[in-house]
Amino acid sequence: MSGSDNRPMTVSEKIFSKASGTPVKAGDFVLANIDLAMTHDITGPLAVQGFYEIMRDEEDKKVWDPSKIVIIFDHQVPADSINAAQNHIMLRKFAKEQGILNYDVYEGVCHQVLPEKGHVKPGDLIVGSDSHTCAYGSLGAFSTGIGSTDMAAVFATGKLWFRVPETFRFEVEGKLPERVYSKDLILHLIGDVGVEGVRYMAAEYAGSTIRSLSIPERMTMSNMAIEMGGKAGIIEADEVTEAYLKERIPGFKLDPYWKSDEGAKYLDIRYYDVSDLEPQVACPHNVDNVKSVSEVEGTKLDQIFMGSCTNGRFEDIKIMADIMGDEPVAKDLRLLVVPASKTEYMKLLKAGYIEKLVNAGAIVEAPCCGPCMGGSFGLLGPGEVGLATSNRNFKGREGSAESFVYLSSPATAGASALTGEITDPRKV
């Protein structure tokens, strides 16, 4: 099934056609129905305030559909200031009054919790008041970040205006070499096209390499689409997606419609062979300042942050821990490990990895965003150098504006934890 004129469509065009109720093409402006809206403890309060301003003349100040809204506390949890505590109180009250599902301080990072709790399906149009909402594209949804005032409008109406984005397709072939992972791949793509290379486009990842990735690895790819300016980072749903969702959504069955048609129009297509790809590192202070690990080996580190919505899953932390083996964290290095959700934390706990990491000298925190946003704990001081498995390394992102943040895969983080400097994981 394609458009009414039998025109082949990208999966993004199909999703917006469903959401707007009419066949659309890239460049069209549409008023689209939202399938799911997410907000969290940082952006949520302003969205709630805006909602009540929109509804001030309405006798019944109710959101459009409480079953399609989720609130998650993850950025400042447990509350690290009086202001954060007040925000939590306000959002708990709003959720209770409106009948909205609220995942409180114990559950984890929004972009991990929503998929693992079965809130995301292929073909959905999802918005979140957080830029990394594009992570849900790993399951074949069109998901994108919006501002708090736009979220207020969604709370009130369940609709939002969009310009249907063009699609930039990345065709990736070849088997990733040993100790090279999807984080290395996405950093390589960002380094190639630049931070604005896919601005207001849907980044569509395809090819045999992408199909071979697990859902956790796909989440890493989709999560960082925003770092090249993407409106979304989408991967066509397949049997891997179906197996993941069957565990989370009773009776789920994959609809093969939610993929791009043969002959669909793309703004650009780039082809990559990753058979010889080296581990990649994004250097200060931009995510597209990407170099091979061999170019930055030996850079002394003060701290490693292992976690975030990009690489805080069981599989990621296991990679790091397995590379470390039974060796201790390097002297004068701080290793902070923050699982992305309670579910992932419990997997690590039951498998013995948390005990192993603590014994090695790491600090393991409860599930949350942690140092990623630079507003909670584990911040870098002036002049300090950090390596993180997260998604951004702008000035001041993880603490002082005079600190330096490098981004890497969990494997590079694990090797570097042993030496106290950026280290090629293939040499450990």
Binding residues: 309, 369, 372
Q: Torsions phi, psi of 243, nearest 5?
A: -65, -40
Distance CA 140, CA 136 (A): 7
User: Residues comprising the binding site for [4Fe-4S] cluster?
Assistant: 309, 369, 372
Residue 420, sorted as left (phi over 0), alpha (psi -120 to 50) or beta, turns out to be left
Angle at 156 between CA 152 and CA 160, to 5 degrees: 70
Query: Do residues 399 and 374 touch, judged by C-beta distance below 8 A?
Result: yes
Angle at 357 between CA 308 and CA 342, to 5 degrees: 45
- Going by C-alpha positions, the residue among 189, 273, 269 that lies closest to residue 223 is 189
Q: Torsions phi, psi of 353, nearest 5?
A: -75, -30
Give the position of tokens 């590079």: 412
Distance CA 166, CA 162 (A): 12
| 248 Cα distance to chain centroid | 19
Residues in the chain: 428
Give the pair of three-digit tokens for residue 40.
Answer: 């969290």
Q: Counting beta carbons within 10 angstroms of the beta carbon of residue 101, is it exposed (0 to 12), middle (13 to 18) or buried (19 or more)?
A: middle
- Going by C-alpha positions, the residue among 33, 13, 34, 222 that lies closest to residue 126 is 34
Contacts for 26 with CB less than 8 Å, ≥ 6 apart:
10, 12, 13, 164, 165, 166, 167, 265, 267
3-class DSSP state of 338 = strand
- Going by C-alpha positions, the residue among 427, 350, 428, 415 that lies closest to residue 389 is 415
